[in-house]
Amino acid sequence: MAAPVELRVRASGGEYPIYIGSGLLGEADYLLPHLGAQALLVADAAVADFAGAIERACSGRGQFGRLLLPSPVAKTAASLERIYTRLIEGGYSRDCTLIALGGGSAGDLVGYAAATYQRGVDFIQAPTTLLGQVDASVGGKTAIDHPLGKNLIGAFHQPRAVLIDLATLDSLPERELRAGLAEVLKYGLIADADGFFDWVQGRARDLLGRDPGALAEAVRRSCGIKAEIVQADEREQTGARALLNLGHTFGHAIEAWQGYGDWNHGEAVAAGLVMAADFSWRSGRLGLDDAVRIRGAVEALGLPSAPPAGMQPEDFLRLMGRDKKNRAGVLRLIVLNGIGRAELIADPDPDLLHQTLAAGGGLARG
Amino acid sequence: MAAPVELRVRASGGEYPIYIGSGLLGEADYLLPHLGAQALLVADAAVADFAGAIERACSGRGQFGRLLLPSPVAKTAASLERIYTRLIEGGYSRDCTLIALGGGSAGDLVGYAAATYQRGVDFIQAPTTLLGQVDASVGGKTAIDHPLGKNLIGAFHQPRAVLIDLATLDSLPERELRAGLAEVLKYGLIADADGFFDWVQGRARDLLGRDPGALAEAVRRSCGIKAEIVQADEREQTGARALLNLGHTFGHAIEAWQGYGDWNHGEAVAAGLVMAADFSWRSGRLGLDDAVRIRGAVEALGLPSAPPAGMQPEDFLRLMGRDKKNRAGVLRLIVLNGIGRAELIADPDPDLLHQTLAAGGGLARG
């Protein structure tokens, strides 16, 4: 294989690498240096082939176990319990390493297991979806869901390495590919390094067509932006990291309203990006032309640019009130002061917010 | 009330105070500065009176909730779930503060809930047993038990403050008082600051008689030694913190063998201290006179100085193999090179260890 791109992320516990390349997961060189004497690979059963490649690459090096979880991986207490039980029964000690192979859910779940087993063991992120590669795998956020809400139980726990094998994208369902592109577009909106937003908009067809060069570039630049942000605010304390939530306050409300069964995360975020642009325009922060460009880019990626039919402003307000970014009951929102210039604000103007919610990100109907 | 003693503990997230005094929990001055806009007091139902005192002291300051857990508090996934549900249903956001009121189990459980709710919220330790005051409440170790083992699921999460109200000891059952004294004696063995071991031995009757001055001094000196050690090794990485586990490798095995239903933690540790002294003597590290003094001190505190009848060397070896201190299957043990001089060793001599286990800490029967 060609040598992978390597990015590095500084974190309180030490620096860790992100490797981006095609065929990585079969290469011992990128796996073994990060493994302890005992390793447990926990994988989404849908990517069992890649699990086999990892296992072959690691063969003969200490204790190596494999646990396949039913696909799609559920970020539940029950899944967590399966991992704990396997670790305990297998005699895994505190110097073991977990490998999380699968989408963002697998990464969040296995990362959280690593954060809490024996008060913390090492883990490696091996994301196999575009969404996981550009978002969940970098930055150390781990979590499971609670029956009363998503991601409510979790920890910050940095991986020892992130192995992004672009070959995993070949078999990714079309709809999941688009979901990942919503997050890619988000990076162009919050940090327009070298005109990344324009680049994404211009290469929309290539990205949807899985052009390997375009996808590699999208992953590299997205991870680079995310790495910059998370190393500036590892534990979400300064507000810098909150910018990564652009579009997510609306998006999470959409997902919750649908009961997490209809749109996927990226689709909900896509509509949320347009709504954030709409609110930014209504509050005089963003030009109408830029807001319209954002909507156009979302649509060019085949993603929804408005909330689901039937969802009312009251639904949004009720569900947005539960957002983890909020402080002491005050709503916080990420807005755009221009493309590539995001800002966290507290207590957004309720009238303007209501207009955005009523217009459904419509931009022209306010 | 008289002004409390204040110790300070340095930690990666900032320094935190330990206040030691009588009547603290009814004093707003020691509570309010450490609370966020929302606070949830989670208490062992056995100390509901102190919960009431805290609630009165905090009245009128933002949202304040109270959750009483059945006594004795179970460090289980089910207890944790009760806390999460109460937090979510009560609309507690990431800037809330939990208050853990009760023994070491309450502190471990509530601390772990704080470590993981919304990826970490603040918490205050308000320990109401001597064991909790001198051990569990300081240092940021939090955990719950797994059906397959104690404390296997947890996190390092430092409290914002530790409030040790010595008035809580007035109603502490005699047997729990003695259990706490086992840990006090341990501090004298691992760090004999100013002859602390001699002091404990000399004041054994006063301590058992709940002399307020003696108990205050025992708590202050124990917390001081623990603070020194945990700030040198916050996340148990250098081995310094492992010294706090003197006697615990044997003690944990005893507790596990009994199914956690017979001796309490302090009683098991007491026997473990004598066994550690026995092994240290057999391996030429500790004089026989010192080993005998240690056994005498344990007995003067009314604590068991030998393992339970019927427990075989094979039982110890099997259960000690699961200790979290072990690395890659190699047993690690804390030994004494003298009173006040503890050391972590790997792979203790199996023959000598077997002699200790067979002699049951008997010292003379080897």
ipTM: 0.93
Give B244-310 as a 3 state SS string.
Answer: HHCCHHHHHHHHHHCCCCCCCHHHHHHHHHHHHHHHHHHCCCCCHHHHHHHHHHHHHCCCCCCCCCC
Tens-place pLDDT, residues B3-12: 899 999 999 8
Interface contact flag, A119 B94, Cβ < 8 Å: no
Q: Phi and psi at residue A290, in whole multiples of 5°?
A: -65, -40
CA distance A12 to chain B (A): 10
pLDDT of residue B361: 62
Counting Cβ atoms within 10 Å, is residue A265 exposed (0-12), middle (13-18) or buried (19+)? buried
Question: Is A183 among the catalytic positions?
Answer: yes
Tens-place pLDDT, residues B175-212: 999 999 999 999 999 997 789 999 999 999 999 999 99
- Cα–Cα nearest to B191, from B243, B135, B137: B243
Q: Is the peptide bond before A304 cis (omega within 30 degrees of 0)?
A: no
Q: Which of A66, A141, A157, A221 is catalytic?
A: A141
CA-only gyration radius of chain A, Å: 20
User: A152: which chain B residues are within 8 Å (Cβ-Cβ)?
Assistant: 84, 88, 117-118
pLDDT of residue A331: 92
pLDDT of residue B137: 93
**Residue ranges, chain A, pLDDT below 70:** 328, 361-366
The model carries a pTM of 0.94
Q: Which of A245, A264, A282, A325 is catalytic?
A: A245
Tell me the β-bridge partners of B21.
Answer: B165
Cβ partners under 8 Å of residue B40, min gap 6 = B64, B65, B66, B67, B83, B86, B87, B90, B92, B96, B97, B98, B99
From CA B19, how far away is CA B127, in angstroms rounded?
A: 11
- DSSP letter at A330 equals B
**Chain mean pLDDT for chain B:** 94
Is the pLDDT at B287 greater than 50? The verdict is yes
Joined together, the tokens standing for residue A194 give 């070298």
Q: C-alpha dihedral over A127, A129, A134, A137, to 10 degrees?
A: -30
Residues of chain B that touch chain A, judged by Cβ-Cβ distance less than 8 Å: 12, 36-38, 62, 77, 81, 84-85, 88-89, 91, 93-95, 115-120, 141-143, 146, 148-149, 152-156, 235-236, 322, 324, 326-329
At B365, is the pLDDT very low, low, confident or very high (cuts 50, 70, 90)? very low
Q: C-alpha dihedral over B24, B27, B31, B33, to 10 degrees?
A: -130
Give the CA diameter of chain A. Answer: 64
From CA B335, how far away is CA B341, in angstroms rounded?
A: 8
pLDDT of residue B359: 86
Helix axes B313-320, B350-359, angle to 10 degrees: 120
Interface contact flag, A149 B88, Cβ < 8 Å: yes
pLDDT of residue B366: 38
Closest chain B residue to the Cα of A157, Cα to Cα = B119
pLDDT of residue A282: 96
Q: Is B121 helix (H, G, I), strand (E, B) or coil?
A: coil
- DSSP letter at A163 equals E
C-beta of residue A75 within 8 angstroms of C-beta of residue A144: yes
CA distance B113 to chain A (A): 9
Interface contact flag, A329 B93, Cβ < 8 Å: yes
Mean local confidence (pLDDT), B119-148: 96
Joined together, the tokens standing for residue B104 give 């070491």
Helix axes A265-282, A350-359, angle to 10 degrees: 130
Interface contact flag, A235 B120, Cβ < 8 Å: yes
Tell me the β-bridge partners of B122.
Answer: B97
pLDDT of residue A366: 38
Nearest to A328 among B95, B116, B146 (CB): B95
From CA A94, how far away is CA B152, in angstroms rounded?
A: 10
Q: B91: alpha, beta or left, given left = phi > 0 and alpha = psi -120 to 50?
A: left
pLDDT of residue B362: 66
Closest chain A residue to the Cα of B86, Cα to Cα = A148
Q: Phi and psi at residue A109, in whole multiples of 5°?
A: -65, -50
From CA B277, how far away is CA B268, in angstroms rounded?
A: 14
Interface contact flag, A81 B77, Cβ < 8 Å: yes
Residue corresponding to tokens 């390349």: A21
Interface contact flag, B116 A37, Cβ < 8 Å: no
Cβ partners under 8 Å of residue B336, min gap 6 = B189, B246, B276, B277, B280, B285, B286, B290, B294, B342, B343
Q: Phi and psi at residue B67, in whole multiples of 5°?
A: -130, 115
CA-CA distances (angstroms) from residue B46 to A115, A245, B68, B126, B267? 32, 43, 9, 14, 21
pLDDT of residue B363: 67
CA-CA distances (angstroms) from residue A84 to B57, B108, B232, B249, B320? 41, 19, 30, 22, 20
Query: Around Cβ A260, how many Cβ atoms within 10 Å?
Result: 14
